[in-house]
Structure 1
């Protein structure tokens, strides 16, 4: 493959940050310059992303992180994925005449998780005070930032809807009664005041005590009060075409907090790849890698038909299992050991032929056959629901700016601490702004099914099975690589393609991001309206006409995307000699890596 890239791979020894917005990457690196570690930098980066990319994430969203701490010597997962409210029963939603949980509005809300997750990371692994790491985000919310054209266009497209249906959102996103122009200096004084009050209410004799008091102000104090007071009387329009009230309560917020857990992992050609549990889609990447061990990918042209076809077909099989078997392991016994086993992957690999599959083919694990059958039935179902543009499906430019998406960040400091995180939810287009707080709630409950007996069925206090999936890999047992991307169901697909080319074809971090990407839409979508598109895939045109025609000849239904519109990857790496590297995609002209 050609070595030309749109920008250099960043190299240094002091530290590196990469994220989906240049301001946030610079903020994170500034924290490193001030003596903070990777955890301090990650928190400051993330809070800034909530300000400058409000169409992609917010304080009331959700966040998984995978990190390695030099101090503890451990690689861990931080789960800041909020759970369904106590009143979130299937019967309640069915009584409203719903077959799917709407992709926007108040019914789609689970407990907000992102803020508490970042505070937990800062308390346990950071070194700086809450005021120090929140200062940049407060400043950009108070004093303004050049609003991204995509943010401005998103607001403009929804301005009339906001004014009519969500007036609290209209007040925040359309100051002076109109949407901001692209690159206009945009301010969110309510959000600045909320962040500042959290800092002001952070009291106690130690840094840790102060952070915990801010967490209490969020979950039991003024933030929880403002949310509960609003929900007590609010009834708002959502994508179903009807008005609904929310069911999140003060108790739901007070009783939940972010947690740590062990990652799932597999070994692949010298790397140990770590992902979240099956409450995220992370194990999909691990399953796909296990399947692909049975193919000589290094001998394939990484832009050729055989490579693309093989990877697409392996992903179809892994994603079919995601739909059948993944869910919150705290509520349902998930057969992850079987799904990640070498023997199971070998049997799955035998299903890949030279022809594109158009069937949904989850594996049939003994004792779990009913889940597989249900997944096949769902994928063939037309849910006959409103499919409006504000449904909230994370996408990229080849679809619509009115739908939500996600952000990603990677940080490595000079000591070798590593953070990979993919925050999302709380999009400006997903739910009305809570009056006085300057941010909306999330819409993550749309990922539950309103059918009993499934690992991803709606149930009180259950985590939705999300698409959020950061990655961290060890090389020869040493923590080495952090990577990820926004993109909903495509996250583990784009990461996989990038990682395979990195491992098998020698592309450096930036070369892999600039190379043409692809993904399949064959399986059940995770977001309202939950469509499946058998045999369909999308690919960037610079892969080459020969490859595209070759894929069509094998039976793939190929959509050629607009140039430079697939994938928003970033990554960071630590070499054995201490050299640090980072890279970020040029797509959408927002993401940047910073380092020295």
Structure 2
């Protein structure tokens, strides 16, 4: 991934910069990269002490739940793509819990709702992240539960210095906490005010919960002991506390009060699982993603749409325009077809004849319509609200019916919309966490955990965490692949990536960012696999994304023809996009994307790692 350029017949890419914000790390022992330095350091510490990549990723994942509580939590969800040293076949870890038995479109409409709220327990799917981490540990790790959760227990019990975004997120929802969610106020406003940057925060209830779970690890084998913890999580004291919490009505993003519907029976009847990855090809590589209950196949379609074209450099006006238009087409198909009841196959989605027809829609002008295709000859159908992009009836308010809270320096920021409180133009819209790990044996994993944010629903006081809000990605309109249906997974935006050549995995990567996750990963893949840029240079490079597609998060709106760019793209490129009809929002020089990546250079016998400098929080470590 270091030569330049790599693809014959493609217009040469803009040359990578001579200097990057950081080096691409190289070594032979192991590499870990994540969205928080503490998680990266913990992962590398596990590798140093003889653990493998899966032990390291799980330990890092539990740490992320503590140190990035505004971006993920134990009550959330995750997806992962991984391969083992013994089997290079890419697999998907499915930690996306489905809708509870009582969560139906009809019931929610009867509650007076026209869409699933973005905050509050009605938006909670069955919590999937914790069980998925434990499944990964059981099947592919080597450590005991108590060992991998020990660093997280230490941070929760003894404290961690809050990054600035923790405090600003809590500040944005402080009135909600004090007025409606007193258990959240007790945990996150212990002094009656939001924490200052660097202030040490503690979560003793979660530390005690983790210790109690680790204590349940009983059985004759390590696998039995991990399963005993999973059972305690899904059927024991955790599930019982969740059900009791849900019985009490509380404020939702609709501005109205509702009880949740999660029960012990729901969590007892579900477990995380491993499934085959969806795999596409691009530039002589295979790219592995989640199936169509996630948005992963959209990236495969973006790559397939762009591969025959000779101008795909996102650092040029023409290339950026073409990339944005391809993204819109793939996301339109995502909106019409993807879901747990997806009627189309990957072969149909990537059929060359179908792609030719879709590609012909890319013209010199920016499109503003949502244009799904007739995959397999079927007529597409989308939710009426997705087409309209309408704001909810409580327009001009935050997700909890409170006055909109503007965050300094971040345009359009608002309150607890079910995501961290920034707009799709701002620094961290649709944000979450990410971690990648590769070890000396060749085990490699890319994980995107999310949900269960501190602002997603009231804290369950005896457990120390909140439930997730992934059901907001479903619709209350009947007959769609993504209609809210009991037992059906919401179409998650969590979309890690594994890249392979004919010898096996070469890179694991991912990013927070909701609907932007695959858009930013697309830029990275174009710059590395086509342009020949190195990993750190590709992560540092100016980013852009479309806001023209229907959003996956409450209030599910869109900006027809919208494009958000980093100013570093330059006046010529930005002006070229505007002349083509894109409604451009400038987001600052260093504001979009939080990618991290690790990989294997088999020709040199070297491992490498790289991480995003934006926000001064993500780091890669290794040796």
TM-score (norm 2): 0.92
Alignment of 1:187-586 (within 5 A): 187-232=202-247, 234-297=248-311, 301-328=313-340, 331-366=341-376, 368-369=378-379, 372-375=380-383, 378-386=386-394, 387-388=397-398, 389-393=415-419, 405-576=431-602, 577-586=604-613
CA distance in 1, matches of 2:331, 2:165: 30
Gaps (5+ residues) in structure 1? none
* Superimposed CA distance per residue, residues 309-337 of structure 1 (whole angstroms, 9 cap, x where no aligned partner): 11001101000000000001xx4533332
Q: How many residues align?
A: 589
CA distance in 2, matches of 1:542, 1:412: 32
Determine if contact 1:385/1:529 at 8 Å carries over to the other structure.
no
| Residue 401 of structure 1: how far off its partner (Å) | 8.3
CA distance in 1, matches of 2:229, 2:376: 48
Q: Does 1:83 align with 2:98?
A: yes
* Superimposed CA distance per residue, residues 414-462 of structure 1 (whole angstroms, 9 cap, x where no aligned partner): 0000000110000001111112111000011111100111000010000
580-589 or 66-75, which deviates more: 66-75
Secondary structure (helix, strand or coil) at the match of 2:81 reads: strand
| Residue 391 of structure 1: how far off its partner (Å) | 1.2
More helix per residue: 1
| Residue 89 of structure 1: how far off its partner (Å) | 1.2
CA distance in 1, matches of 2:314, 2:166: 34
CA distance in 2, matches of 1:84, 1:397: 27
| Residue 344 of structure 1: how far off its partner (Å) | 1.5
2:134 corresponds, among 79, 96, 119, to: 119
CA distance in 2, matches of 1:305, 1:231: 50
Gaps (5+ residues) in structure 2? 1-14, 399-414
CA distance in 2, matches of 1:296, 1:366: 27
User: For residue 71 of structure 1, what is the aligned residue in structure 2?
Assistant: 86
Determine if contact 1:55/1:404 at 8 Å carries over to the other structure.
no
* Superimposed CA distance per residue, residues 529-548 of structure 1 (whole angstroms, 9 cap, x where no aligned partner): 00021110000001110111
Change beyond 3 A, Cα 1:160–1:399: farther
Change beyond 3 A, Cα 1:398–1:334: closer
Determine if contact 1:280/1:469 at 8 Å carries over to the other structure.
yes
* Superimposed CA distance per residue, residues 546-572 of structure 1 (whole angstroms, 9 cap, x where no aligned partner): 111111111111111122010000001
Change beyond 3 A, Cα 1:395–1:416: farther
Change beyond 3 A, Cα 1:493–1:588: same
Secondary structure (helix, strand or coil) at the match of 1:534 reads: coil
Determine if contact 2:53/2:438 at 8 Å carries over to the other structure.
yes
CA distance in 2, matches of 1:444, 1:457: 13
2:179 corresponds, among 149, 161, 164, to: 164
| Residue 382 of structure 1: how far off its partner (Å) | 1.9
Change beyond 3 A, Cα 1:373–1:215: closer
Q: Does 1:29 align with 2:44?
A: yes
Secondary structure (helix, strand or coil) at the match of 1:175 reads: coil
Determine if contact 1:28/1:41 at 8 Å carries over to the other structure.
yes
Secondary structure (helix, strand or coil) at the match of 1:391 reads: coil
Determine if contact 1:100/1:450 at 8 Å carries over to the other structure.
yes
TM-score (norm 1): 0.96
* Superimposed CA distance per residue, residues 8-65 of structure 1 (whole angstroms, 9 cap, x where no aligned partner): 1111010000000000000000000000000000000100000000000001100100
| Residue 135 of structure 1: how far off its partner (Å) | 0.6
| Residue 384 of structure 1: how far off its partner (Å) | 3.2
* Superimposed CA distance per residue, residues 356-386 of structure 1 (whole angstroms, 9 cap, x where no aligned partner): 11121110235531xx243577322525333
CA distance in 2, matches of 1:404, 1:308: 22
| Residue 126 of structure 1: how far off its partner (Å) | 0.2
User: For residue 9 of structure 1, what is the aligned residue in structure 2?
Assistant: 24
2:614 corresponds, among 578, 587, 594, to: 587
CA distance in 2, matches of 1:394, 1:536: 21
| Residue 182 of structure 1: how far off its partner (Å) | 1.2
Secondary structure (helix, strand or coil) at the match of 1:562 reads: coil
